[in-house]
Structure 1
Amino acid sequence: MKKLNDAFNVLYNGDNIVKLTELRYIPRWSVIVIDISIVLISIFFSHFFLEKLHVRINFPQYILEQKIFLIGINMLFMFVFKTYAGIIRHSTFFDFFKIILSSGSTLVTLLIINFLIEIWLGKSLFLYPYLFLYFFISVTVMFLFRMFTKQFFNVLIDFKGSASKVRVAVIGVGDASVSLARAILHNPNYPYRLQGFLTRRSDSHKALLLGHKIYNIDKFCENKPFMNQFDAVLIIKEIMSKQELEEWMTCALDNGLKVLKAPTLSKMRDSDLVGGIRQLQIEDLLNRRPIKIENEEVRKRHAEKNVLITGGAGSIGSEIVRQVAQFNPSLIVVLDQAESPLYELELELLEKFPKQKFKFVLADISNSYRLEKIFEVYQFSMVYHAAAYKHVPLIEENPHEAIFVNVLGTKNVAVLSKKYKVNRFVMVSTDKAVNPTNVMGASKRTAELFVQSLQNSEGNITKFITTRFGNVLGSNGSVIPHFKKQIEKGGPVTITHPDIIRYFMTIPEACELVLQAGTMGGGGEIYVFDMGEPVKILDLARRMIRLSGYTPDVDIKIKFIGLRPGEKLYEELLSNNATTIPTHHEKIMISKDPCMVFEEMDLLSNKIIKSAVRRDKVQVVTLLKAIVPEFISNNSQFEVLDKKTDSLEQKEWLTGEPDAG
């Protein structure tokens, strides 16, 4: 009784407007009633047409019984094929097919009954033209009812939110572009409205596609009235070359339009597709081809194995953890000295990989006693060494810290890997180790030399592998997050030099190649990755500003602040006297860099570690230059040391004479 009173209160005192846009579906009983009404209408019109043609029907005295019989047969097949079960506003060809099956089965059944009665009584119960006419009318009206209802709801919802929807032009008229446009049309709840298509073709401007105009790019970019009809262009990055992507982006941004991208073609599934539309990011403009890794070989190296990842809470280390976790190792030990990032990663991984066994270890790799206990307990099969200090200006001011982490830390992890017979040790290095101009790069090159020297040391069975690549997009301290913060604050965007260039790679891409390289070779190799074309940082900054909806040097200023200590204009992946050997993977090569014997490298590393303990900056850097002869300081306080080549002090250190201290 209370519910009835509430219903009357709403009816007479509440909002009496029928909110059709909030109606999710028409109830099934309503669809059945409507379909039966359509059957009655079809019967009426069938009789009406026959009467107008002056056709006499059989058994006129049983006309009511004939109609009831016909309705009963049709209703039977409606329930058999469940023509009422589909949601009308989302009707598809499958729903139309069910109507055909239902009405067709009704027609066939009546034809058979008609034929049998004709044999028995000498004339048919129904006129054959009447049955076919009824079939045609009922199928047509049922189909039109569903299509009209579907279109009515779409128009109603589109009209309701049209003011707030983003008017998009889909780029291209191929199958992928049409699928994308159709998904937008079929998902009216999403904040996009299809307004037209853009193409390079000149023969399509008079045609309509899905009821919308097709515009040519040249006329589109030059015609402001066209531009006013759109808010954004929508691209499918996979079907475009780098040149086409640049051209479309420039055209759109020059005319104040947003640039949106659809998910990859493999993810094109109606609502998921529309929901996956995002604004174009600077990472997309690199237009790198996807990497293909040999998952089966990588899986064999990790499945049911214990794996250690140092620097596991960092940008590269954490991604290695995520990728390794997909290969079902027995245990992943994540080691890092950064407390908060390690804890945050623990929460993420336990949620994402609930069945994977993890151990999160807070430790400093320069502490060999702490590390040895970990190696002793877990008996690792694979070690990924990603822990390192990498911030160039900070390390230039604190060179001894680079020695503690990048040299001593690497030495500890590598020596323990040899001692505990780890199958493979994979070190993550950097292109800044090539012809270094700063302490950070020289310390990483020293670490490379030590790891290489261990390969042929006495009693070693571990395969020591080094991977070397350039900057990764979005990593901690990298240029892109830095630029984003500056743009959000209104600028200026600071660049060290107008001509500075860098190689870039995405974090997942870099880590996939690290895992792949870890399965290759016999040990002692330095693997370098194909980083693609170098990117001018000034161009990168301008693109990011434009993608954010601003005009470079107008809305957001660009300011040049000069090279930082130890920074160079051009990064290299190979040293001057190195050559490369191709591998079976197109994006991985082996760099044939000079190497040292273990005894010599062990002696030099001990000397430089002792110098770091004494906090003697000059001595540390001088020793680095002795170990890495190609290390020439740039824009640094240590440039003066490069003038002391072949000095007695350096010769003493290289030949093993006593320390100066």
Structure 2
Amino acid sequence: MYSLVSQSKLESYNVLIVGVNDDSIALAEALSTSKNQNFNLAGFISFRKDHQRIKILGKPIIKYGSKFYDRIAPMKITGIIIAGSQLSITQKNELVDKALSNNLKIFNVPEITQWTDKEDVTSKIKEIQIEDLLERDSIHLDDSQISSYLKNRNVLITGGAGSIGSEIVRQVSTYKPDCILILDQAESPLYDLELELKEDFPEVHYEVILADVRCRERLQQVFEAHNISVVFHAAAYKHVPMIEKNPKEAVAVNILGTVNLADLSAQYNVDRFVMVSTDKAVNPTNVMGASKRAAEIYVQALQQKDNVTTKFITTRFGNVLGSNGSVIPYFKRQIENGGPVTVTHPDIIRFFMTIPEACQLVLQAGTMGNGGEIFVFDMGKPVRIMDLAERMIKLSGFKPYEDIDIKIIGLRPGEKLYEELLSDSSTTLPTHHKKIMIAKDKALDHQTVLIHVEEISNAAISENDVYIVSKIKQLVPEFISKNSVFELLDKKVNL
């Protein structure tokens, strides 16, 4: 039964194509000449109420509405193909939900501009994925502003081989930098990215640097050897349960790694330092989120120092689709293995954003900061993880709780039911970009923060996890542990 997912390409579908525009017609013509007969075109779907034509290419046009499925019942339709990006995200979600409830397969095909003459168009037709339904409408970017601080500059990207860092590399590549320095400690992903970039951006000069943000001396060599103008700091440990068990590593990478990079950026007069943070830094309940909040605090405090010319900018956003450790690939593996799909709590919700969307906003925020700001991204509506699991099971061709079960396993250490993007004490200011706001978290004095950071660093030498976390809580007093062994520290404070 579970082989249906992988064998879907061998099946034949009687399909309708969404839309009556150029992409839809081009797809229909390509299907008619394709050697692969997996898809038999039965007609078109129109979302336009004022559409007058009855047929295109001899195939009927069916208007989408309340009686749509009654109209197509005699046609024995088994699939629907969405051509290009002509539907809004709301329309796409409505279409998919109703199609799934009527046991139809849904397929995507990219816009005609992404086809090549050598390819059979059927190779471009893919079953729709959950990521396609969680996307949001396209973001407007001010390319001229972004280009003004990236063109002909040396740009350092830490964590450059990771899911976020590598996408920042790709997007920065389009703005004609003088050189992109890609720094990461992961050897194999760094090599794979280098091969990809040589093929996709042969005109851009890259330097791949195998290094660890924990090593200040190695980082200093990098800053000394290159006239770096912009730093995108994406290197971090981010897996909540793993970091809850290893707070020493959170200190070494998320806190002290950021201190190393921020200090060197100030020392070498880098123009802009843009840090990637997380919504888990707001009122943190776990070590990972608290360590990222500590990094935010340090970067903001450093901005207050005299004679610092670097503009330090922080960006906060929620979960990204398809990132390493994300819930979506985890659910996909469970579904492929026949289930059950495991959810930690029936009411848990999360904000989601695509990796390209998040990185676009990171680049845009880099143009907007005057220094010391924490920019918060509009993450849209939260997603209930139970709904996500049920939908992914349906998209795979199965019935939730019948073919594949969903099992509640309990919240993990440090896990919240929901994430916040703004702390309770913050005020939010709008910017000229509707998807980016400023969280006015109060900046602390640099000397005060430095004392806390030194205490945290010294504690990390002790190998005593409770002692390490106690020092983090002193710098981040809003850090209240949940479902964790470190809750005892909060009880002591409250006594």
TM superposition score normalised by structure 1: 0.69
- The offset of 1:211, in angstroms, is 1.9
Q: What are the superposed Cα offsets for residues 460-486 of structure 1, whole Å, 9 maximum, x if unpaired? A: 110000011000000000011111111
User: Residues 176 and 634 from structure 1, CA distance in 2 versus in 1: closer, same or farther, beyond 3 angstroms?
Assistant: farther
The corresponding residue for 2:392 is 544
- The offset of 1:178, in angstroms, is 5.2
Q: Aligned pair 1:606/2:454, yes or no?
A: yes
- The offset of 1:304, in angstroms, is 1.5
* Unpaired stretches in structure 2, ≥5 consecutive residues: 1-9
Name the aligned partner's letter for residue 354 of structure 1.
P
User: Residues 612 and 169 from structure 1, CA distance in 2 versus in 1: closer, same or farther, beyond 3 angstroms?
Assistant: same
* Unpaired stretches in structure 1, ≥5 consecutive residues: 1-162, 648-661
Report the secondary structure of 1:645's partner residue. helix
Contact kept, 8 Å, 1:494 with 1:559, in 2: the verdict is yes
The corresponding residue for 2:3 is none
CA distance in 2, matches of 1:495, 1:237: 33
Q: Aligned pair 1:232/2:79, yes or no?
A: yes
Q: What are the superposed Cα offsets for residues 23-48 of structure 1, whole Å, 9 maximum, x if unpaired? A: xxxxxxxxxxxxxxxxxxxxxxxxxx
CA distance in 1, matches of 2:148, 2:109: 35
Q: What are the superposed Cα offsets for residues 251-306 of structure 1, whole Å, 9 maximum, x if unpaired? A: 32223221012324765899897654322111121241101211122112112211
Name the aligned partner's letter for residue 506 of structure 1.
T
Which of residues 166, 183, 186 is equivalent to 1:338? 186
CA distance in 2, matches of 1:200, 1:510: 30
User: Residues 454 and 374 from structure 1, CA distance in 2 versus in 1: closer, same or farther, beyond 3 angstroms?
Assistant: same
The corresponding residue for 1:175 is 21
CA distance in 1, matches of 2:23, 2:273: 46
Contact kept, 8 Å, 1:184 with 1:193, in 2: the verdict is no
Q: Aligned pair 1:251/2:103, yes or no?
A: no
Contact kept, 8 Å, 1:465 with 1:525, in 2: the verdict is yes
CA distance in 1, matches of 2:89, 2:365: 28
Contact kept, 8 Å, 1:180 with 1:273, in 2: the verdict is no
The corresponding residue for 1:189 is 35
Q: Aligned pair 1:283/2:131, yes or no?
A: yes
The correspondence of residues 10-409 of structure 1 with structure 2, limited to 5 A, is 165-172=12-19, 174-175=20-21, 179-180=25-26, 182-184=28-30, 187-190=33-36, 191-199=38-46, 207-215=54-62, 218-222=66-70, 225-226=73-74, 229-236=76-83, 238-264=85-111, 276-409=124-257
Name the aligned partner's letter for residue 249 of structure 1.
V
CA distance in 2, matches of 1:178, 1:342: 39
User: Residues 402 and 413 from structure 1, CA distance in 2 versus in 1: closer, same or farther, beyond 3 angstroms?
Assistant: same
Percent of residue pairs identical: 54
- The offset of 1:316, in angstroms, is 0.4
CA distance in 1, matches of 2:141, 2:54: 43
Contact kept, 8 Å, 1:205 with 1:213, in 2: the verdict is no
| CA RMSD across the alignment | 2.5
Contact kept, 8 Å, 1:263 with 1:273, in 2: the verdict is no
TM superposition score normalised by structure 2: 0.91
Contact kept, 8 Å, 1:453 with 1:596, in 2: the verdict is yes
The corresponding residue for 2:366 is 518
Report the secondary structure of 2:228's partner residue. coil
Q: What are the superposed Cα offsets for residues 207-265 of structure 1, whole Å, 9 maximum, x if unpaired? A: 444322344554453578536x2231122473334443233212322232210123247
Q: What are the superposed Cα offsets for residues 481-539 of structure 1, whole Å, 9 maximum, x if unpaired? A: 11111111111111111111111111111111111111112100001111111111111
Name the aligned partner's letter for residue 275 of structure 2.
M
Asked which structure has the greater RCO (Cα within 8 Å, sep 6+), the reply is 2
CA distance in 2, matches of 1:222, 1:215: 11
The correspondence of residues 407-556 of structure 1 with structure 2, limited to 5 A, is 407-556=255-404
User: Residues 376 and 231 from structure 1, CA distance in 2 versus in 1: closer, same or farther, beyond 3 angstroms?
Assistant: same
User: Residues 179 and 364 from structure 1, CA distance in 2 versus in 1: closer, same or farther, beyond 3 angstroms?
Assistant: same
Q: Give the number of the structure whose alpha-carbon radius of gyration is greater.
A: 1
CA distance in 2, matches of 1:542, 1:205: 38
CA distance in 2, matches of 1:385, 1:206: 54
The corresponding residue for 2:6 is none
CA distance in 1, matches of 2:237, 2:31: 51
- The offset of 1:313, in angstroms, is 0.9
User: Residues 554 and 403 from structure 1, CA distance in 2 versus in 1: closer, same or farther, beyond 3 angstroms?
Assistant: same
CA distance in 1, matches of 2:302, 2:369: 15
CA distance in 2, matches of 1:411, 1:206: 64
CA distance in 2, matches of 1:409, 1:337: 12
Q: What are the superposed Cα offsets for residues 305-341 of structure 1, whole Å, 9 maximum, x if unpaired? A: 1111111111001111111112222211111111111
Which has more strand, going by share of residues? 2
